[in-house]
Amino acid sequence: MRRWRLRATVEVEESVASLGQAYAREVRWAQGFRVNIDSRLILLGIRRLLSCKIISDGELRAAAFVIGCRLGAMDSYESFDDGLAQGRDVPLAFAYALPSMPLACASICHSLRGVTYTVTGAGDAGIRAFSQAAALVESGAAGMVVTGCWESPSATAGEGNASCSLLLLVLEEEEVAGSDAYGADDYTGPPTMDEDAPTALTVQSSVAALKRFLARNSIAAPGASFHA
């Protein structure tokens, strides 16, 4: 049985305006000047994983990505739908109106050619993504997985003034013998969300639900934790 451990976490919390500034300053992706808010958030988080040396370029390219979202790409959905209501087409907004586009942008920006899965749902999206990521390591399908979830503002959900938030976790395969990382001898697989389900489905933020889930299961990074 393979087991996983949490190498590190990165958390990003920005207003839409400050996200734009941080993205321009830190990401510097020439092709990415028109990408949507969600994609900027993911690209910024990955850039910080690299700049804090939590993960190397080579490890990043070899890693699988399984990331959750509750309101993925809502800004683009709203832009395209507003265009429809006004009788005009906004093809760029339609192209970005998919929750998987942020990871697609990351794939292009960082040459990620392996697993890039986006898990959607309600407040449980991040927990679901985390469970799938852990299962990928345990099954041997991936030696390292970047997982977590993000939230971005949605006018439709009445959260237009909310900030953008992202929690990324790097899970890696570990040697079982002599390890004191997550996974005791009676380990029975990745934690499930059963206890957290009632809460996770009603809370507003999938990031908050994932944090609560991690705390309840005593999953803490043995290494660096970077909070921007």
Instruction: List the one residue from 5, 9, 118, 209 that touches another protein (CB under 8 A).
Output: 118
Tokens describing residue 101 = 């586009």
Per the CB < 8 A criterion, the answer to whether 134 and 4 are in contact is yes
Regarding 156 and contact with another protein (CB under 8 A), the answer is yes
Neighbours of 139 (CB within 10 A): 10
Tokens describing residue 153 = 């503002």
Q: Which stretch binds another protein (CB under 8 A): 14-22, 51-59, 79-87, 219-227?
A: 79-87
Q: How far is the CB of 158 from another protein (least distance, A)?
A: 8
Exposure string for 53-65, b = 16+ CB within 10 A, e = fewer: ebbeeebbeebbb
Regarding 174 and contact with another protein (CB under 8 A), the answer is no
Q: How far is the CB of 26 from another protein (least distance, A)?
A: 21
Regarding 201 and contact with another protein (CB under 8 A), the answer is yes
Our CB check for another protein shows the closer of 84 and 215 to be 84
Among 63, 65, 66, 78, residue whose Cα is nearest residue 121: 66
Question: In which residue are the tokens 């990408």 written?
Answer: 35
Residues 186, 138, 180, 175, Cα dihedral to 10°:
120
Among 43, 39, 47, 40, residue whose Cα is nearest residue 20: 40
Backbone angles phi, psi at 153, to 5 degrees: -65, 145
Regarding 113 and contact with another protein (CB under 8 A), the answer is yes
Distance between CA atoms of residues 21 and 11, nearest Å: 17
Regarding 171 and contact with another protein (CB under 8 A), the answer is no
Q: How far is the CB of 155 from another protein (least distance, A)?
A: 9
Q: How far is the CB of 192 from another protein (least distance, A)?
A: 8
Regarding 80 and contact with another protein (CB under 8 A), the answer is yes
Q: How far is the CB of 178 from another protein (least distance, A)?
A: 24
Distance between CA atoms of residues 101 and 143, nearest Å: 24
Among 152, 153, 149, 144, residue whose Cα is nearest residue 127: 149
Instruction: List the one residue from 11, 138, 172, 174 that touches another protein (CB under 8 A).
Output: 138
Regarding 221 and contact with another protein (CB under 8 A), the answer is no
Regarding 141 and contact with another protein (CB under 8 A), the answer is yes
Residue ranges binding another protein (CB under 8 A): 70-72, 74, 77-78, 80-81, 84-85, 89-91, 94-101, 103-105, 107-108, 111-122, 125, 128, 131-132, 135-136, 138-139, 141, 156-157, 189, 192, 201
